[in-house]
Amino acid sequence: AFYGLMECKQSHRGLLEMRPTKRPFLLTRASFIGSGQYTSHWTGDNEATWEARGGGIKDSIQACLGANLWGISQVGADIGGFFGKPEQQLLTRWTQLGSFYTFTRNHHGLDTSPGSEPYRWDAAAVATMRDAYLWRYRLLPFFYTLLMDSHLTGGPAMRHPTMNFPTDAAAYHETYSFFLGDSMLVAPVVDEDATSVTTYVPAGVWYRLRPAWTDAAVIVGPAKHVLSSAVYNDQIPVLVAAGTVIPQHTTPALTVKDTRASGISLLCLLDANGLAAGHLFVDSAESAPTAADATLAYRLDVQCAANLQGGVISVSATNPSAHRPTDAPVPTGGARFSIRFFEVVSRIDVSGMVVNGQKLSSGACSVVNNTLTCTLPDGVDASQPLEVAWGERANSVADAHDDTVHISKAGLVAALVGGAVLGAIAAAVIMHLRAASNSRRNNEDYSRVQ
């Protein structure tokens, strides 16, 4: 194992010497404490089994959690198992789980027949696995930010619930559920023929997410919950704490290049007070760090507050001169918001929408099928402070401004349909930031987070 660490260290050094401006990507099986600063890790040859042995689907979770504890944040198992025939249901469930490893890879031995490629199976299984991988691609900005946070703080990206809730005795009894970062709880289905999973949900308000985020349901803890999950045409339960911002891509595609070109979205899940906050990192995904700019990360902080009387969403860059490399795709242009309320949209005053204190023209916003649609003015740049307000907040801001901005085609959309939680209005807010840079991208973009 120590030899593996030394091999990773020298390989990392060699790649930097050969390509000093490019970030090395290494993947190893042999590893040791300290390997995480040089390489990603896969858990080794495993078996295609439901049993808690041989590195099967159950063991893979423990292996990934263990690797994170000793400092290797990007880790995953061979989805479907390396040895043995990956029966269809097992492969489908493993794909659903593996999409939430910090390193995701379908891999099997040459003597496996049939292989574990998703296209070899029934149409329902193919569609389900396709949706799982597309969900993964949509969430690439979340995983990228998750791993950057781990890099900067040294904390694990993938965690047992006790790490986030150390004083909650019930959390210690969880075996297979895990957290990604502080606020995303994944509850995989790891038993054959099961169509639900019983998992402990810690204290607070949680949203169950699905690939179509508009299906988000509210769950309240602390309590054990039985969460449904059909084998096919469904996904495993994924819960996110209220008050959280989840960065994601606008439209997942078949390649990272095409997915990334769709722009960055911020899904803000408001808490019982109507608030949400979070951040994301953006960069070129391939430049090597330098002494002058050790992180190469361009951080955007997001805050949102909303209710039926009005709201505001603000985006600001943190120390952009120090954290933004020249080849980073800087979000500029239009932004798109979607907000869901359990109240009728007609109560929202769309005529008062303002951007950085400037009123939008009267034809810039419309309400169709409970969806409020507005378009941002030209010149919006998220590297500068950005504030979008409506209702009471917009009126207080706009009183000091006489200018009316005429709108271009780049844009902002707000969908209002939503939810009440603990006597307050809960909402889901999604913001789409389109990258201004049209520089060349290849399918190795985000290689650190696939």
* Of 199, 200, 197, residue with least CA distance to 228: 197
* Of 278, 276, 252, residue with least CA distance to 264: 252
Q: 329: cis peptide before it, omega within 30°?
A: no
- CB-based contacts of 318, cutoff 8 Å, min separation 6: 279, 299, 300, 301
Q: What gap in Å lies between CA 271 and CA 368, rounded to an integer? A: 26
Q: Where are the domains of the chain?
A: 2-153, 158-241, 244-449
pTM: 0.83
**CB distance 58 to 197 below 8 Å:** no
β-pairing, 331-339 with 310-318?
unpaired
| Beta strands in 158-297, from DSSP E residues, in sequence order | 158-159, 178-180, 184-186, 196-209, 217-228, 238-241, 244-249, 264-269, 275-282
The encoded tokens of residue 141 equal: 């900005």
Per-residue pLDDT of the chain (450 residues; tens, 9 = 90+): 788 899 999 999 999 999 988 889 999 999 888 899 999 999 999 999 999 877 899 999 999 999 999 999 999 999 999 998 889 999 999 999 999 999 999 999 887 767 789 999 999 999 999 999 999 999 999 999 999 999 889 999 999 999 999 999 999 999 999 999 999 999 999 999 999 999 999 999 998 988 866 556 789 999 999 999 999 999 999 999 998 988 888 789 999 888 887 777 777 788 888 888 999 888 777 877 665 555 556 788 888 887 767 778 788 877 655 545 454 444 444 444 544 432 334 455 656 778 788 787 666 666 554 445 555 666 666 666 778 787 777 776 555 444 433 333 333 333 333 333 322 333 444 444 444 333 333 333 333 333
Burial of 420 (0-12, 13-18, 19+ CB in 10 A): middle
Angle of helix 140-153 versus helix 123-138 axis, rounded to 10: 50
* Of 161, 80, 170, residue with least CA distance to 121: 80
The encoded tokens of residue 380 equal: 């919006």
Q: What gap in Å lies between CA 395 and CA 144, rounded to an integer? A: 37
CATH code for residues 244-449: 2.60.40.1180
Measured over the CA atoms of residue 349, residue 355, residue 359 and residue 365, the dihedral's sign is negative
Q: Buried (b) or exposed (e) across 25-58, using 16+ Cβ within 10 A?
A: eeebebbbeebbebbbbbbebbbbbbeeebbbbb
> Position 162: which residue type?
T
CATH code for residues 158-241: 2.60.40.1180
Q: What gap in Å lies between CA 78 and CA 65, rounded to an integer? A: 15
Task: Decide if 2-153 and 158-241 have a common fold.
Answer: no
pLDDT digits (tens, 9 = 90+) for 284-313: 778 776 655 555 567 888 888 877 677 787
Alpha carbon separation from 275 to 245, 268, 355 (Å, rounded): 10, 9, 19
CATH code for residues 2-153: 3.20.20.80
> For the chain, how many helices (H) and strands (E)?
9, 27
pLDDT digits (tens, 9 = 90+) for 212-265: 665 567 899 999 999 999 999 999 999 999 989 888 887 899 998 888 877 777
Q: Classify residue 370 as left (phi > 0), alpha (psi -120 to 50) or beta.
A: left
